Amino acid sequence: MEKVIVILEQTDTGFSAYLPGLPVTCTTGADLTEVETNMHEALELHLEVLKMENQPIPSSFEGNFVFDYRLDIRDFFGLFAPIKQTAVALKAGINPSLLRQYARGIKHPSLEQVKKIETAIHQLGRELLKIRLV
- Provide DSSP, the chain: -EEEEEEEEEETTEEEEEETTEEEEEEEESSHHHHHHHHHHHHHHHHHHHHHTTPPPPGGGTS-EEEEEE--HHHHHHHTTTS-HHHHHHHHTS-HHHHHHHHHTSS---HHHHHHHHHHHHHHHHHHHT----
Tell me the pLDDT tens digit for each residue of 38-88. Answer: 999 999 999 999 999 999 888 888 888 889 999 999 888 888 888 999 999
* CATH tag, 2-70: 3.30.160.250
DSSP classification of residue 130: T
What pLDDT does 49 receive? 92
Domain with CATH 3.30.160.250 in the chain: 2-70
Residue 5: beta bridge partners? 68
**Residue length of the chain:** 134
Residue 6: beta bridge partners? 69
Q: pTM surpassing 0.95?
A: no
